[in-house]
Structure 1
Amino acid sequence: MTGLLDHTMIRVTDLEESVDWYETHLDYEEKDRHEAEDFTIVYMGPEDMGDSEAMLELTSNEGQDELEIGDAWGHIAVRVRDLEDAYEKLMEGGVDDYRDPESCGGRYAFVKDPDGHEIELVLREEGSLWSLDHTMIRVENADEAIGYWVRKFEYADTRRWEADTFANFFVEPEDAPDEAMSLELTYNYDGRSYTHGDGWGHLCVRVDDLDEDFDELTLREVPVDRDPEACDDRYAFVEDFEGHEIELLERDPNAESLFSF
């Protein structure tokens, strides 16, 4: 499997408000949309994003007016070229002040979207402007979480940052392009547990052959949520050992629609 992270899915209550927010403030564009009977999915990302860059999937469920943003879900991080300038432009554009660069030691900053999903701003030269740099989730067992991604998906533990009370571990496929999104695993040393809520959806990993790669993952004892057959052989879902959902998707870059699996 390629193993690249294809997208991160989050749920929103007002789809058009969220689409407008990401278009207005992050210069995202709507890449594709799928309307089902009781939900709508919109893929979004920068206009000039490359094939190896990850998209943001916004999912709106019919009749869902409230979301619980559980603390097992952390944030997405987007790339900027000038941290102070990017944050100031967001403030001038009407985004609420949350955690400015100064409060974060001048190394990053945070804002929130209309549903309260946290978005980190990180200074990066690689990847397109505002593209997804990483997605952060919190884990209760760091050794198990790292081992899961290394053994099941053949990811590499590429970098880490350890403080007195917590540690961040970044994992991504071996030889991943610089512009590809990575996964940040955050582990707090105080032994806390987390709630998932329903605001956080899933990560999606690209595979080369859905059936073959799914069989390989089951051989590696990955917890299965929905197999390809249950998903009309279009995709599948597995889980890590803490319940984070991971979609497996065989992406055709030449398809007319992003939903042509």
Structure 2
Amino acid sequence: MDGTLDHVMLRVANLEESLEWYQTHLEYEEKDRYEGDGFTIVYLGPEEMHEDGALLELTHNEGEDDLEVGDAWGHIAVRVPEGELEDYYQQLMDEGVEDYRDPESCGGRYAFVKDPDGHEIEIVKRDPDEGALWSLDHTMIRVEDADEALGYWTRKFEYEHTGRWEADTFSNYFLKPEDAAPEEMALELTYNYDGRSYDMGDAWGHLCVRVDDLEDDWEQLLTREAPDYRDPESNDNMYAFTKDQDGHEIELLERDPDADSLFPF
């Protein structure tokens, strides 16, 4: 299984407003678009993104303009160069982005803003060799049992546990595929010690993992007892979906680098 995190999908209430926000403030460009029956999907990313860099997928469903950002979904994180966090945060403020959590309030280590739908976006400092400016660094989801969550990703997807941060009330765990390129997006699992449960909401979509062979890798996941949520056959053998132990949706997708479209349709 390839295992690369291919994209993260967020639902938006106003597609044009969201596109303008990401294109203006994060300098993203539209990579591809699919107009479906009652919905539109747009892939976005930095102009000079790595071949294994993750895309941002924005999905808009017609008639859905009141989306709920649940607390099971945490945030996406984007990269800026070391030593320039404050400068880039100030740039966003000068462009009219709402001041949510500035670098000073985060100990100078990171900062947060929100997009038009309230999706949280962390800004993290990285070496320029680790990915293009504003490229996706990681996606954070919250889990109710850290041992189960870590076991799910290490057993079913063969991810490596690459780091952790333990505080008084919570822990963060970072995972990536084995031998992942520095430019690849990581997965961050957040576990709060107070035993709380979470609401998915409908503004949070899914993570997508690249596979080498959709049918074979799907069967391998079933052998490893991954939930049979939406199998390849039910999706015309173009993609499939499983779920983790908390119900986060995970898409499986073969990526043909020579295809005319980023979509398998």
How does the TM-score come out when normalised to structure 1? 0.99
Matched, 1:195 2:199: yes
Q: Where does residue 241 of structure 1 map in the other structure?
A: 245
Cα deviations across residues 88-122 of structure 1 (Å, max 9, x unaligned)?
Answer: 00000010000000000000000000000000000
Distance 2:158 2:100 in 1: 36
Letter in 1 for 2:258: N
Matched, 1:143 2:151: no
Q: Where does residue 101 of structure 2 map in the other structure?
A: 99
How many pairs are equivalent?
A: 261
Matched, 1:166 2:166: no
Q: Where does residue 13 of structure 1 map in the other structure?
A: 13
Letter in 1 for 2:174: F
Q: Where does residue 118 of structure 2 map in the other structure?
A: 116
Q: CA deviation at 1:225?
A: 1.1
Letter in 2 for 1:225: Y
- For 1:78-97, what aligned pairs fall within 5 Å after superposition? 78-81=78-81, 82-97=84-99
Cα deviations across residues 208-242 of structure 1 (Å, max 9, x unaligned)?
Answer: 00000000000000012100000010000000011
Q: CA deviation at 1:254?
A: 1.0
**SS, match of residue 224 in structure 1:** coil
Unaligned runs of 5+ in 2: none
Letter in 1 for 2:213: D
**SS, match of residue 136 in structure 1:** strand
**SS, match of residue 150 in structure 2:** helix
Distance 2:204 2:59 in 1: 10
Cα deviations across residues 61-104 of structure 1 (Å, max 9, x unaligned)?
Answer: 01001101000000000000110001000000010000000000
Matched, 1:218 2:233: no
Distance 2:165 2:264 in 1: 39
Letter in 2 for 1:29: E
Distance 2:246 2:93 in 1: 36
Q: CA deviation at 1:260?
A: 3.3
Letter in 1 for 2:103: P
Distance 1:78 1:160 in 2: 19
Matched, 1:41 2:41: yes
Letter in 2 for 1:4: T
Distance 2:125 2:115 in 1: 19
Letter in 2 for 1:27: E
Matched, 1:185 2:185: no
Deviates more, 1:251-260 or 1:187-196: 251-260
Distance 1:56 1:65 in 2: 20
Letter in 1 for 2:135: S
**SS, match of residue 229 in structure 2:** strand
Unaligned runs of 5+ in 1: none
Distance 1:129 1:150 in 2: 29
Q: RMSD across aligned C-alpha pairs, in angstroms?
A: 0.6
Distance 1:47 1:181 in 2: 16
Sequence identity percentage: 71
Distance 1:68 1:257 in 2: 31
Q: CA deviation at 1:50?
A: 1.0
